[in-house]
Structure 1
Amino acid sequence: MIKLLKSKSGEGYIDVVIVILAAILVIALAVQVLPVFTAKNQLNTFADEIMREAEISGRIGSDVKNKIKDMKDNTGLAPTISWSTSYVSGNKIQLNGEINVTLKQTVDIGFFSFGSFPIELTSKAKGRSEVYWK
């Protein structure tokens, strides 16, 4: 009986099972975390696209709002958007006037039944108006 307990045959099987279990946990973690990087990339693109629309139109009006609606439909994101600029009259921004936009989106990282971990993603874009208003 003692000889059987001291025998090390079969030890490799236990090592293989532990390595496979660890690999499965790493893959499961990656599957839960990688969508956050995708959402951050989409949020950056979202900010750049609406900033470019605001630069071209020289105001934060219906053109920008339509672009925001299109981007929300395309990306599936619904961030909170805040603008920072100085207006000439109404919503018009004078030529070379600085425009800042900040987008914030909360994304949950849940690891199966262990809970949910909300992460707030922030994306900022800066630009200048390309329209001269008389």
Structure 2
Amino acid sequence: MLKRVWKEQRGEGYIDIAVLVLCVFLVLALSVKLLPVFIAKQQLDTFATELCREAEISGRVGSETSRRAAVLTEKTGLVPEIRWSRSGRIQLNEEVSVQLTYRYDLGLFGSFGSFPVTLRAEASGKSEVYWK
């Protein structure tokens, strides 16, 4: 098909190829802008899982989880809003959950077509510490 278009003497084939190339570049540009959103969502899910695991191991929501959140923020560059189901000490086998919310600005073409996307991640687990 492309051979025939290239061999055609009329200008119609050239216009078709130009439009096709333009469409390919627009799809490529859109995918380059959307891919970071999926990466940020994956990082946010990992962030929530690791924070919850820290609460399970330490048996409380406090300084340990705050330090872990700071380390994860430094590693990922994400600064999500963190909400815990409870705070303080968590007795053995009691459940704890964390919910993270992050607003990602999806700027498609500079400031034109820019809008925020809210990403959410949640993780839950049970404490592994017995408090006397």
TM-score by length of structure 1 reads: 0.88
Structure 2 counterpart of 1:112, from 105, 109, 112? 109
Q: Which moved more, 1:57-66 or 1:124-133?
A: 57-66
Q: Are 2:109 and 1:101 equivalent residues in the alignment?
A: no
Q: Describe how 1:35-50 pairs up with structure 2 within 5 A.
A: 35-50=36-51
Q: Which residue of 1 aligns with 2:130?
A: 132
| Structure 2: distance between partners of 1:27 and 1:14 | 20
Aligned pairs (5 A) from 1:1-134: 9-85=10-86, 91-113=88-110, 114-134=112-132
Matched residue SS, 2:61: coil
- Cα deviation, 1:5-41, whole Å, max 9, x if unaligned, reads xx96121111110000000000111111111000000
Runs (4+) of structure 1 exceeding 3 A deviation are: none
Name the % identity: 52
Q: Which amino acid aligns with 1:67?
A: R
Q: CA deviation at 1:49?
A: 0.5
RMSD over aligned CA atoms reads 1.4
- Partner deviation per Cα, 1:26-83 (whole Å, 9 max, x = no partner): 0111111111000000000000001000000000122111110000000000000000
Q: Which runs of 5+ in 1 are unaligned?
A: 1-6
Number of aligned pairs?
Answer: 124
The gaps in structure 2 that reach 5 residues or longer are 1-7
Q: Distance in 2 between matches of 1:77 and 1:111?
A: 20
Normalization by structure 2: what TM-score? Answer: 0.89
